Chains A and B, each alone.
Chain A
């Protein structure tokens, strides 16, 4: 009966130290206590942990004495009988006891060894890692890769992948391409940035260098719309795809622009050249991504840069050089030199060179501005629009257009007809009127009238006389003796009447010659003897610029006609219509850019001019003033004065009837 105890200790360098003792007793104790037969230096072990009792040869009873169950072959028991033959293993804390048959007969070998290394087994040197963060933090390298990767994906890869644009929003294209002719279809309101919902996400939005102007806000998620090619700065083609040229005409044709432009120089130009950023692109002036207001880049010298020495570069230009406002050349109104129904001729003549306009119309302003003469009476009798002095108001003929920029075209029926009616005879209740603008018919009508009386005389038919007289005082001419006996007589009296109505030999008193120049060709046939010179009225004297009359109604603290004539001097005294009554540029300088602080008003180029007026002037460009309204290009109408057949009664007739 004996136990052979082999206690195995690990050496630091790995080797084993085996200490063997033989105990010739039947019972041994296991524990941490020094008095135990098998002492296990392990705080996990009780002072007296277990007892081994050798029952018979080959069987051992083991019993826990420390109150902690023993782990034997994986099972936890407080006591057990073990047969040594099947080499049982007992685990106590971090130690293991393995039993086996001893060499000596009846002896039992117990091998005790530590299976879990002691806390201080780890050598200090290998642990110095705990002093650096390396083991606590993810590696800098990893973090760097992740972060950089993320940035590259979101900031570069995705956008590159999803680059390019979807097709343009129809409404914007429509709005942009609509001719900006009348104020109703302005761009701005049509596409106010906020009412355009910025729908949809596009990866390349992260490349934006700033918010788009409200007008373009709708394209925020559609970079490709403008940035069509990579590494190529936004080209005009991109702009023009929406902003059609007829909506926004060029300042001048591209080639003329190219030659006319001041050759760019200096550092910046060099860079631009190097980076393939040609001058004169839309984008050179229209900078985008500069916030909601958008940004039109216009330097003070924007126009004069080119226009100072334009003639030097653009040899054949008709435009005078304009170095600045003070040296702005005198106005050169477009005047009619040859009036014609088909091909009138115009010429720009500086106001300085005694300009004469040959419109073919006879209109003495002075007569019509008098309050006392027959015109004045007419105004009163008929209650026409009158100025404070009772004379006919300017606006009676010159009616401002909707924008108050310019005036509606003058029409005979509207602006002259009330006084100058063409009544000719009276047949019972019917007033017969001669047609305006059809002189060749007039002679026929008159002759037929007399022949009618000769063949079939009727009472109650009267011919009306034409010489101006006090209204009501009119007496029926020839009322008595319109009984014509012979055809011959009828023809003679008709011819006389024709000559009288046309006012032959330009002598006044004729119906036509009041306003028109009548020529007597002396043709034998009286019907073909008289012709009327054609009339051509200019509709726009200064097409390259604009003068908002509406904003000048109170010029010089005057109102109404006084304000008009304050600039259009000479109207009151003008006897002939060949006089040009436009104010000269000096008139403008009274206020614009004047030295007199009180009256000084800005005088930048685009106060009157616009860049996108087009070559003929009056382009679609709205300039910067919302009140501007462009007109159609300077078209000229040759107007005959048509006679209204059977339409509303002429005023004159009314008057006469009233007199009845």
Chain B
């Protein structure tokens, strides 16, 4: 019986599995251990580059060149493995945070290692292509670091304890209320409300997501139109109660949309770079294969 087993085991004070209780982000993981390692690697590479004087000039073909190249290639392969590490959930102790930290700093050190490996010789060939791809990946990664460092705080502030389904549900609820509130209205007014009900795209296309702005959002247009109507009636006399009610609803929906769109904007900014970083990485791996193979094919 399970409880029996548990009972007998209960006697022993079994140490809890090790766990991350130190509260430090991936940039400062283990007191920036990986930053130090990365700096050391870079320094080492520079030393190699400066201290060796290959004939006729520095390039990937010299001993130092091959050394740096091997180091770089291994790094690139290892760095690209984070995609696997992130998804393969093993039971053994590991810290993805540690991996991220290493990924970030070693990735940055590649700027030095890779560039020195080229010996500052670039041209229209597969070798330079690999280098350019690498730099592209790294630069997109740098954006990622910045995004990861800055956005989460705003994200949580904007979310304000609302979950994504809740945000949507809030909008949907307002839609339902609008729909019912608009029932007694005449065609023109009803059509204005329909603008908001049917012509409102929360997410929008990539640009709208990135900016979080949707100039011709149905809801805004509807709100302005109703606002105009109400103002008109104000001048002539007492505004239509139903319209003011709808205006109120539209304003609330507008606010809800704004929050959702801010959320989307930041989520997008947090995700977008991966759509460059990851594919470019695979292109880089391909280029790396071509680079290495071709070097030895045409020796």
Residues of A within 8 A of B (CB): 32-34, 41, 43-44, 46-47, 66, 118-120, 124-125, 127-128, 130-133, 135-137, 140, 143-152, 154-156, 159-160, 163, 204-211, 223, 227, 230-234, 267-268, 271, 287, 290, 295-297, 299
Contacts and interface: CB of A to CB of B under 8 A. Distances in A.
Contact of A125 (B57, B165, B205, B267): B165
B184 A34 contact: yes
A230 B293 CA distance: 10
B283 A151 contact: yes
A141 to B, nearest CB: 8
A230 B297 contact: yes
B263 interface: yes
B282 interface: yes
B240 to A, nearest CB: 14
A143 B205 contact: no
A268 B63 contact: yes
Given A124-B168, A144-B279, A209-B295, A136 B209 contact: yes
A148 B59 CA distance: 26
Contact of A43 (B66, B164, B191, B293): B191
Contacts of B56: 287, 290, 295-297
Interface stretch (B22-30, B102-110, B194-202): B194-202
Contacts of A204: 294, 298
Nearest to A34: B184
Given A43-B194, A120-B172, A144-B279, A131 B129 contact: no
In the A-B complex, list the 7 residue pairs whose CB atoms are closest, starting with the nearest. A155-B290, A143-B279, A147-B283, A144-B282, A124-B168, A295-B56, A130-B203
Given A41-B183, A144-B282, A136 B205 contact: yes
Given A118-B179, A128-B164, A209 B60 contact: yes
B10 interface: no
Nearest to A233: B299
B169 A231 contact: no
B179 A41 contact: yes
A634 B151 CA distance: 84
Given A271-B63, A299-B55, A131 B264 contact: yes
Interface residues of B, number: 69
Interface in B164-190: 164-165, 168-169, 172, 175-176, 179-180, 182-187, 190
Contact of A130 (B57, B185, B264, B293): B264
Of the listed residues B165, B193, B263, the one surrounded by the most CB atoms of chain A closer than 10 A to its CB is B165
Interface stretch (B31-39, B117-125, B142-150): B117-125
B285 A148 contact: yes
B227 interface: no
Main secondary structure of the interface of B (DSSP, over half): helix
Contacts of B279: 140, 143-144, 146-148
A621 B272 CA distance: 62
A538 to B, nearest CB: 40
Contacts of A145: 282
Contacts of A34: 183-184
Given A43-B193, A206-B124, A133 B293 contact: no
B268 interface: yes
B296 A231 contact: yes
B75 interface: no
B112 interface: no
A154 B172 CA distance: 50
Nearest to B61: A209
A124 B268 contact: no
Contacts of B73: none
Nearest to A137: B275
B165 A124 contact: yes
B165 A210 contact: no
Contact of B278 (A144, A208, A271): A144
B278 A140 contact: yes
A68 B161 CA distance: 47
B286 interface: yes
Given A143-B275, A209-B125, A47 B186 contact: yes
A7 to B, nearest CB: 15
B280 interface: yes
Given A43-B182, A130-B202, 4 more contacts: A128-B165, A155-B290, A209-B121, A297-B56
Contacts of A230: 297-298
A144 B283 contact: yes
B280 A147 contact: yes
B289 interface: yes
A223 B126 CA distance: 15
Contact of B187 (A47, A124, A148, A152): A47
Nearest to B192: A43
Nearest to B171: A124
Contacts of A127: 168
A227 B297 CA distance: 8
Nearest to B298: A227
A101 B57 CA distance: 98
A327 B205 CA distance: 82
Interface string B29-59: 0000000000000000000000000011101
Nearest to A226: B298
B197 A137 contact: no
B267 A207 contact: no
Nearest to B296: A231
A32 B194 CA distance: 14
A132 B274 contact: no
